[in-house]
Amino acid sequence: MEAESVISAGEAPPKAERREPAGPAVNEGEYEVIHSKSPVFYDLYERKTELKQQTHYCPGCGHGVVHKLIAEALEELGLQDKTIIVSPVGCSVFAYYYFDVGNVQVAHGRAPAAATGIKRACPDKIVISYQGDGDLAAIGTAEIVHAANRGEKIAVFFVNNAIYGMTGGQMAPTTLVGQKSTTSPFGRRPENEGFPIHMAEMLATLEAPAYIERVALSDNKNIMKARRAIRKALEIQKNGSGFSFVEILSPCPTIWGKDPVEARKWVLEKMIPAFALNVFRDRIPSVPKIEVPQRSVTEVLELGAEVEENSTSAARHVHHFKDVKIKIAGFGGQGVLLLGQLLTEMGMRESLEVSWLPSYGPEMRSGSAHCHVCLSKDRIGSPLVSQPDVLIAMNEFSLRKFAPEVVSGGVILYNGATLPADFAAPAAQVVAIPAAEIADKLGSTKAANIVMLGALLEETECLSSGTAVTVLEDKVKKVELLEIDRKALSAGRLFIDDQAHLGAVSQPDGFA
């Protein structure tokens, strides 16, 4: 982009525009016209295959102007080296071609979510979410509303040109009533397409945002206001004050079928009356602090000693494996997901890398549910378990469905007195455990999952039963239930032990 200076000959340049004259000396009191671009832009746009001197924006496009205003504000505030711009899909998808700052290009509508993550991970950085109206007000509505509602300390620059530019002119949520687009060829009709969405006003209903303003690129005066608004949003972030949102009414001459001058006029005469220019919010949000109960020093020391003791005994367990992948499946209500969580909690306490991935239907009870659990000495690449070493099948349906996935030499623990007669066992160790029956006799059928946990620990020795007890003690608050769970854990272990003595299952030797 050739950013052209606004200084004319004979006129004193404002401070930000003062440059050493590059050309021949001029007479005192005279100034030469300076053409330059902010150092926040690359000198040459190397990522472009051709025309490395200029952007891909159409003549008169608002994106070019907004880019210039952002670059100048970053330069003036000395923020270039701290800035990360997140640009999603739309005509500005290649913003990273131009800005010599940190850049992240994200999926359509997702910039506020990505910006949230970046800002929280790097609070010292200046994070900008740069979005069009199709991106921010259509596919990305949820992201912007929730980022604003959380008061994320980011600056959002919302380029509203009332149309989908990149894809050739479909109706946007901000398309004006009566405005023609390829998907509203007779003009937007509120009775069919609804009214234009006023994002600035909508976000101003939320408590958290610090600054919300709508500006326009209709004429030089308004462009200067836009410049101030963009700078202010960045200053707010620099000061750590909160969420800023600047909506910029922008021309899109190409899709509107106008020349650049007519397009600016259209912003002035049509867009501004429909989208009032205003400062909708300008205050530092007051965020109430919720007190977290403080433990006394004695309590902390006691707790620390207990944790230390538990973690030392948990760490003592020898893991005979590099990693173990477990799938647990059954009906909702059988404690399938909870069993997975207990295993991951145990793994963490034994200093393993862990992951837990649940998968369940919409029903709270009796729908099918399963979860994937990984325990590993190394970092886990994917939490998905498609070839489990161990399957815990809490019902026949799950046994039949997932048994074929189990690796050769793996283990299948089935919650049932016997295996179904026609079940063709794969090349794995299959053990039927009447877990529900055992749990029932102990006082609660619900503890069948803990019987299976005991069986798993005894059969595979993947984790220590001591860790299981400490985890249960921490998680189960009802004394009677905890007692049943302790017995269920022991019962599961004993069952496998007895089977081993009878020669029905192999001796536990852990995983290779």
Give me the residues that bind ligand TPP (CB under 6 A), please: 89-92, 108, 132-135, 139, 159, 161, 163-167, 172
58 contacts ligand SF4 (rule: CB under 6 A): yes
Q: Which does 57 bind (CB under 5 to 8 A by kind): ligand SF4, ligand TPP, none?
A: ligand SF4
Among 55-63, 208-216, 449-457, 459-467, the segment contacting ligand SF4 (CB under 6 A): 55-63
Q: Which does 253 bind (CB under 5 to 8 A by kind): ligand TPP, ligand SF4, none?
A: ligand SF4
462 phi/psi in degrees, rounded to 5: -70, -35
- CA trace torsion 107, 112, 113, 116 (10° rounding): 140
List beta partners, residue 393.
329, 414
Which residue's CB is nearer to ligand SF4, number 38 or number 161? 161
- Based on C-alpha coordinates, what's the Rg of the chain? 32
Which residue's CB is nearer to ligand SF4, number 56 or number 238? 56
- Tell the smallest beta-carbon distance from residue 61 to ligand SF4 (Å): 3
DSSP state of 184: B
What is the C-alpha to C-alpha distance for residues 114 and 107, in angstroms, rounded to an integer?
9
Region 162-221 residues binding ligand SF4, contact defined as CB under 6 A: 165-166
- Tell the smallest beta-carbon distance from residue 354 to ligand SF4 (Å): 47
Please enumerate in sequence order all residues whose Cβ is within 8 A of that of 200, keeping only pairs 6 or more positions apart, or say none.
Answer: 158, 212, 213, 214, 245, 247, 275, 278, 280
Host H or E run for residue 229: helix 220-238
For residue 324, give the nearest of 410, 395, 404, 402 by alpha carbon. 410
For residue 237, give the nearest of 138, 124, 331 by alpha carbon. 124
- Tell the smallest beta-carbon distance from residue 403 to ligand TPP (Å): 38
Q: Which does 108 bind (CB under 5 to 8 A by kind): ligand SF4, ligand TPP, none?
A: ligand TPP
Which residue's CB is nearer to ligand SF4, number 181 or number 254? 254
What is the C-alpha to C-alpha distance for residues 72 and 397, in angstroms, rounded to an integer?
64
CA angle 421, 425, 427 (to 5 degrees): 165
Q: How many residues appear in the chain?
A: 512
Residue 420 burial (CB count, 10 A): 12
Q: Which does 335 bind (CB under 5 to 8 A by kind): ligand TPP, ligand SF4, none?
A: none
Cross-sheet strand order for the sheet of 155-160 = 102-105, 83-87, 126-132, 155-160, 244-249, 211-216, 278-282
Which residue's CB is nearer to ligand TPP, number 33 or number 166? 166
Cα torsion angle, 12, 15, 17, 22, sign: positive
For residue 215, give the nearest of 207, 205, 225 by alpha carbon. 225
- Tell the smallest beta-carbon distance from residue 262 to ligand TPP (Å): 18
254 contacts ligand SF4 (rule: CB under 6 A): yes
- Tell the smallest beta-carbon distance from residue 165 to ligand TPP (Å): 3
Q: Which does 416 bind (CB under 5 to 8 A by kind): ligand SF4, ligand TPP, none?
A: none
Options 73, 89, 91, 101; binder of ligand SF4; rule CB under 6 A: 91
Options 1, 32, 63, 88; binder of ligand SF4; rule CB under 6 A: 63
Contact between residue 375 and residue 311 where contact means Cβ atoms under 8 Å apart:
no
Among 58-66, 108-116, 235-243, 339-347, the segment contacting ligand SF4 (CB under 6 A): 58-66
Q: Measured at CB, which residue is nearest to ligand TPP? A: 132
Q: Which does 58 bind (CB under 5 to 8 A by kind): ligand SF4, ligand TPP, none?
A: ligand SF4
Q: Which does 134 bind (CB under 5 to 8 A by kind): ligand SF4, ligand TPP, none?
A: ligand TPP
The number of residues that bind ligand SF4 (CB under 6 A) is 12
- Tell the smallest beta-carbon distance from residue 119 to ligand TPP (Å): 22
Q: Which does 204 bind (CB under 5 to 8 A by kind): ligand TPP, ligand SF4, none?
A: none
What is the C-alpha to C-alpha distance for residues 320 and 462, in angstroms, rounded to an integer?
7
What is the C-alpha to C-alpha distance for residues 253 and 274, in angstroms, rounded to an integer?
18
207 phi/psi in degrees, rounded to 5: -75, -40
462 contacts ligand SF4 (rule: CB under 6 A): no
67 contacts ligand SF4 (rule: CB under 6 A): no
- Tell the smallest beta-carbon distance from residue 381 to ligand TPP (Å): 26
- Tell the smallest beta-carbon distance from residue 124 to ligand TPP (Å): 29
DSSP state of 286: P
Residue 483 burial (CB count, 10 A): 13
- Tell the smallest beta-carbon distance from residue 54 to ligand SF4 (Å): 12
Question: Which positions touch ligand SF4 (CB under 6 A)?
Answer: 57-58, 61, 63, 91, 161, 165-166, 252-255
